[in-house]
Amino acid sequence: MEILVCIKRVPDTSENEINVNRDGTDIERDDLVYSVNEWDNYAVEEAIQIRDRVCGSVTVVTVGDEETEEVVRREMAMGADKGVLLSDEVFKNSDGRGIAGIIKAEVKKGKYDLILTGAQADDGAGQVGGMLAAMLDWPYASLATLIEVTDDKKIKVGREIEGGNLEMLEIDLPCVLSIQTGINEPRYVGIRGIRKTASAEIPVHGAGDLGLSPESVGKSGSKIKQLDYFVPDAGEGAEILEGSVDEIAEKLVELLKARGGIK
């Protein structure tokens, strides 16, 4: 099975406090810790496990600049066989549709049976996989938490729906799936493992290589644009308890007792 996994380098929200920059045009990017999007990490792990069961290869692909290469290497250190970086000045500020179009062009250069994406990334949109599938006219299922390869023509997929129930589906290959966290336990990759991939060649494909016109991508190809970033009005919000740890704990016990929080 030839598997392509689409990944994204994002600010790690569990490691960073995200702030808006002074003029509201972006988030404050100095000192941010970047990593591979959490959902994508599960997708790569799943691809590796499928490959190890049924043979084939795993390729990771991302759209970004030269700094993005580090996450490709990281996922190769996990066990992906190949990495591709789709990078071009004209790709900058592409919306989800633009990104899906760029990846579609790369997909057309290869021969894949299965494409995995994370269910969502830092922007919470969860759009690239579904768009890519529609562009390719391949079947799509989002939020997969279970994949069983039936044969080389079809797979069985469990989609996580409301209440934690699983919607079981049979899907023809080739297809696109978005992967929900919890589908597996992604393996740990140490610095040493990443170093081993330092010499691996990662081809870079630009708009010309992919046969994409500059107008179809980037800002000019986008139907949705960001005006500004802001922190929403806090509204009521929580009453933040202040003081020493002891004072705060004391106050909280009182509040909990008053609200029946201590039986």
Residues 84-103 that bind another protein (CB under 8 A): 96-97, 100
Question: Judged by CB under 8 A, how many residues of this single chain contact another protein?
Answer: 84
Q: Which of 168, 195, 213, 219 binds another protein (CB under 8 A)?
A: 168
Reading the block at residue 14, the tokens are: 């569990």
Single-letter amino acid, residue 89: E
Residue 200 CA to residue 46 CA, distance in Å, equals: 22
Rounded to 5 degrees, φ, ψ at 100 are: -60, -40
Is residue 30 within the footprint of another protein (CB under 8 A)? no
Nearest CA among 161, 184, 218, 221 for reference residue 51: 184
Is residue 33 within the footprint of another protein (CB under 8 A)? no
Residue 42 CA to residue 61 CA, distance in Å, equals: 15
For tokens 């591979």, name the residue: 36
Quote the least distance from Cβ 13 to another protein, whole Å. Answer: 4
Reading the block at residue 7, the tokens are: 């990944």
Q: Which stretch binds another protein (CB under 8 A): 47-55, 163-171, 191-199, 203-211?
A: 163-171
Is residue 27 within the footprint of another protein (CB under 8 A)? yes
Single-letter amino acid, residue 7: I
Quote the least distance from Cβ 121 to another protein, whole Å. Answer: 10
Residues 224-263 that bind another protein (CB under 8 A): 224-232, 234-235, 237-241, 245-246, 248-250, 252-253, 255-257, 259-263
Quote the least distance from Cβ 195 to another protein, whole Å. Answer: 26
Residue 81 CA to residue 113 CA, distance in Å, equals: 15
Quote the least distance from Cβ 259 to another protein, whole Å. Answer: 4
Q: Which is nearer to another protein, 192 or 263 (CB)?
A: 263
Is residue 204 within the footprint of another protein (CB under 8 A)? no
Quote the least distance from Cβ 200 to another protein, whole Å. Answer: 29
- Contact yes or no for 42/118 (Cβ under 8 A): yes
Q: Which is nearer to another protein, 152 or 172 (CB)?
A: 172
Rounded to 5 degrees, φ, ψ at 179 are: -105, 130
Q: Which of 76, 102, 107, 175 binds another protein (CB under 8 A)?
A: 175
Residue 2 CA to residue 21 CA, distance in Å, equals: 42
- Contact yes or no for 78/51 (Cβ under 8 A): no
Residues 118-157 that bind another protein (CB under 8 A): 119, 122-131, 133-135, 138-143, 156
